[in-house]
């Protein structure tokens, strides 16, 4: 399977809220080898932040002994990020993916986590089994340097 991707990194950490920033920054640093734009990098960081926060808050509640795994793979000009937990799981994935749905209204959660992930990434897949855990897989294409140059030239000509 290793021949399918160009590079991979994995993280595993305790389900403590302070580790959300660690995951976000680590993934961003790893993805930086693709030379993403600031917007592309910001999108990835936001999506990772939402996925990790969901794992910490919803999968484990206040149990900081849970484990969150982050696996990031690079395929040519595409990044794939998996965020996996081994917590309670999601009872109804379709309902959970609806904007404004939250299973934790007492914590003043906005219910926009999956919506944000979906809007900032090109693909979002959610797999979950009650009592076993949840895996969120996100993909985003990083535009090539040549495509970025072409976009800048087109924008310059329009001005």
Integer Cα distance of 33 and 91 in angstroms: 37
- With beta carbons less than 8 A apart as the criterion, state whether 134 and 113 touch: no
Please tell me which residue in 20, 50, 80, 84 is annotated as part of the active site: 50
Tokens of 31: 């993805």
Tokens of 85: 């937990």
Q: Which of 129, 8, 145, 13 is nearest to 80 (CA)?
A: 8
Please tell me which residue in 109, 127, 139, 141 is annotated as part of the active site: 109
Integer Cα distance of 114 and 90 in angstroms: 12
Please tell me which residue in 54, 73, 80, 118 is annotated as part of the active site: 54
> Strands, DSSP E only, in the chain?
7-14, 67-75, 78-85, 123-129, 133-141
Active site residue 109: yes
Active site residue 141: no
How far are the Cα atoms of 16, 29, 109, 146 from residue 113, in angstroms, in the given order? 18, 22, 9, 33
Active site residue 139: no
- DSSP letter at 59 equals I
Active site residues: 50, 54, 109
């Amino acid at each position: 399977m290793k021949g399918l991707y160009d590079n991979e990194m994995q993280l595993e950490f305790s389900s403590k809220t302070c580790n959300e920033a660690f995951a976000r920054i680590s993934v961003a640093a790893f993805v930086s080898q693709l030379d993403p734009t600031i917007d592309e990098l910001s999108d990835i960081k936001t999506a990772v932040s939402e996925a990790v926060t969901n794992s910490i808050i919803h999968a484990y509640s206040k149990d900081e002994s849970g484990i969150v795994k982050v696996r990031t793979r690079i395929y040519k000009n595409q990044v794939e990020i998996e965020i996996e937990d081994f917590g309670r799981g999601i009872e109804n994935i379709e309902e959970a993916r609806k904007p404004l749905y939250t299973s934790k209204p007492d914590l003043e959660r906005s219910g926009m986590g999956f919506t944000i992930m979906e809007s900032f990434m090109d693909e979002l897949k959610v797999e979950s089994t009650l009592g076993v855990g949840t895996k969120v897989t996100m993909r985003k294409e990083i535009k090539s340097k040549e495509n970025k140059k072409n976009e800048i030239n087109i924008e310059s000509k329009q001005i």
